[in-house]
Structure 1
Amino acid sequence: MRADIAFLDVEMPGRNGINIGALLREKNPKIKIFIVTSYLDYLDDAMEFHVFRYLSKPIDKARLFRNFKEALYQISMEAEKISIETKEETIICSSDEIVMIEKEDRRVIVHTLSRSLESVENAKYWDRLLKYRSFNRPHRSYIINLKYLQSYTHESIVLKTPDGRIWEAYIARRKYQEFKDAHLLFLEAMS
């Protein structure tokens, strides 16, 4: 049986939640693991295997439900399939694998975790399709996945994927505050 979400305590009878979390991550890299504990000393260990959330006891119910809702949202994003049609083929991937959409002249490039593809669809199509909280259009030439945001200034955005690849995008001057607000909402949903 494969689990999508796991709640683990650091100290369980005869077991260590950190070790079990690492094993679960090996078996299912997309699992959302919540570490629930009153011991803050284990936070660094939990972050090593990319724990989804680290919740302190006693549990704040509002925070628990907000984070659980976000986990369900991310699972649905990972499960939702998107078709990327190119001139040669159609590729199916999860929406969560899309890092950025980039418009270059008349071409639209879809950058995914595995490769970049030239879409036959225009940027407006992608803007309508990716109307999720994690996607934002900070500039007419870019739609970015906030999940991969590393940093930004008033003019530019840096995205970084887990494998270390870096992409840059621009922010239109008139879109900066809207982008900043969207980023803060995304962070709030993630916390």
Structure 2
Amino acid sequence: MKLNIAICDDNKLVLENEKALIEETLKEMGIPYKMDKYQNPENLIKNAWQYDLVFLDVEMDEVNGIVAAESIHNINKECLLFFVTNHEVYMDYAMNEYAFRFWVKPMSKEKLKFGLESALKRLENNNKCIEFNTDRNVVNIPINKIIFICAENKKTTIVTVDEQFVVDRPYKAVKDMINSYFFYESHASYYVNLNYVKAYSPSHVKCGIGNHEYEIHMSRRKYTKFNKYFIDWMGEQK
């Protein structure tokens, strides 16, 4: 697929360097693309509807990147946001504002390549749905809108960004239907979408979006594997 990409940084030199690195990496990967660059985030926001990926500097004079991210998400909820900053202190804020990836400058080619590969998989999965019959009708649930699922006796609760469903199918059957690389088990009864993970510990996972936050169980037995998978998925290791 052809990627529509935007880069936004108010430092012209940094902007050009990032553009060169991203273009070089995309060409090496054989990915067709169209790329636009912005020094003013307000101009980017006006055109946000057309982009698949946006690389955003966090610290900009005109509009802070965290604020810009919220506006972009309101316009284009399918757009994947890559935050790039000089300071790790912004990571918590960025993760709360729909970050697909968060990198401290300068971007490395290894992390960039891994992030682009993950972005392609995410975009390809955006249209995948799971289907269930309810008492009233048939429901199609996009898997990229599912925050997590959990076992409820012989039924399964599906928590999405919009609402919750309790379906008359066992947890493992629903888990197998989703079967996506961006989900991982935190517990024998919980399957969580990594895109909505905000923090985790050996006992809990904090996940959600906006004001909809959940604290779900983390099995101590699963914590080590979960942590490694999450770090690899974020592109911090290769």
TM-score (norm 2): 0.63
Q: CA 1:106/1:79 → structure 2, altered by over 3 Å: closer, same or farther?
A: same
Letter matched to residue 140 of structure 2: I
1:32 aligns with 2:61: no
Range with greater deviation from structure 2 (148-157 or 111-120): 148-157
Pick one of 152, 164, 168 that aligns with 2:215.
Answer: 168
Aligned to 2:120: 72
1:107-127, Cα deviation, whole Å (9 max, x unpaired) = 211111111011122211122
Contact map agreement 1:70 1:189 (CA 8 A) in 2: no
Gaps of 5+ in 2: 13-37, 70-79, 86-104
Report the residue type matching 1:139 in the other structure: H
- Residue 176 of structure 2 is aligned to residue 128 of structure 1: yes
**Count of equivalent residues:** 180
Q: Deviations over 1:45-98 (max 9, x none)?
A: 233232722569987544443332222222122222222433432222321100
Which residue identity is paired with 1:23? K
For the pair 1:42 / 2:54, whether they are aligned, the reply is no
- In structure 2, the CA distance between the partners of 1:123 and 1:34, relative to structure 1 (3 Å rule), is same
Aligned pairs (5 A) from 1:17-28:
17-25=40-48, 27=49
Deviation for aligned residue 1:151:
2.0
Shift of 1:104: 1.7
Report the more deviating stretch, 65-74 or 131-140: 65-74
Q: Which runs of 5 or more residues in structure 1 are unaligned?
A: none
* Conservation of the 8 A alpha-carbon contact between 2:130 and 2:178: no
**Counterpart pick for 1:157 among 183, 189, 205:** 205
Give the whole-Å Cα distance in 2 for the aligned partners of 1:87 and 1:53: 41
CA contact (8 A) 1:6 1:33 kept: yes
Deviations 1:5-42 (A, max 9, x none): 32335468xx64422321233x36x842124x8xx843
- Residues 1:99 and 2:147 aligned together: yes
Tell me which residue corresponds to 1:6. 5
Task: Find the aligned partners of 1:54 and 1:168 in 2 and give their Cα distance.
Answer: 25
What's the RMSD between the two structures over aligned residues?
3.2
- In the other structure, the counterpart of 1:180 is 227
Other structure's SS at 1:68 match = helix
Measured in 1, the distance between the counterparts of 2:236 and 2:165 equals 30
Q: Percent identity?
A: 16
